[in-house]
Amino acid sequence: MPAAPTLPPPIHNQACLVVGGVYVGAPEDGMKRMQPLRELGTPLADISQPMPFSMVQTAFDPLFPMGKLQSYWKAQNLADLPDKVTEIIAARANQRPSPLTLVVTFQMGGAINRVGPTETAYGERSARWMSSIDGNWENPADTAANIAWVRESFRQIAPYSTGTTYTNFTGQADETAGALTATAYAENMDRLRRIKAQYDPDNFFRLNPNIQPA
């Protein structure tokens, strides 16, 4: 964790396991539901509290100072989280080549799984977890080693993947933008390309994992 003034001093420059959750509803109910997370291990810091959503959105900004980091991220959805993949994720977290690199496991499931795969743009509605390997480092001379480490971490976790990704956490260096969108939107691609042709036929919005207009 960086020594940012917005973070508690006990975690400055420390390797940390961060357990994060968001409850949207009555604050008093949320604090009760979040209490088990606050009792995991011995917390170095507990910043659980009612807060506006804008604070939630910016809570991790100190980890990514603008213009200072080199970054390479890869994410994949996981059908489940068996012991073997947990062991792999923990081992990779303990072998990070840069202290700024994050090894993140998101709980999905719940309301996400209750939506049909063709009801929205996002096609992955079966995965209960997502693994994101977020490589971040400062020295450009370390780029090759860090990218190789992220790719190897992704490769080791891949046998437990659903074969789909989340484009917000995945760079385009390994594959074309079209390949990325195909693994994210699956059978929705044809419909999305028709919509793109209607609203953005010249593909003005293209600096992303791009959906080409039909």
Lowest-confidence segment of 92-96, 147-151, 187-191 by average pLDDT:
187-191
Kindly tell me if the per-residue pLDDT of 200 is higher than 70: yes
What pTM does this model have?
A: 0.86
Other CB atoms within 10 Å distance of the CB of residue 161:
20
Identify the CA nearest to 23 among candidates 15, 31, 13, 11.
31
Q: How confident is the model at residue 172 (pLDDT cuts 50, 70, 90)?
A: low
Whether 46 and 11 have beta carbons less than 8 Å apart is answered as no
Q: What is the DSSP letter of 121?
A: S
Lowest-confidence segment of 31-35, 45-49, 94-98, 112-116 by average pLDDT:
45-49
Whether 116 and 86 have beta carbons less than 8 Å apart is answered as no
Domains observed in the chain: 1-63 (no CATH), 66-214 (3.40.462.20)
Rounded-to-integer distance, Cα 73 and Cα 19, Å: 20
Higher pLDDT: 15 or 128? It is 128
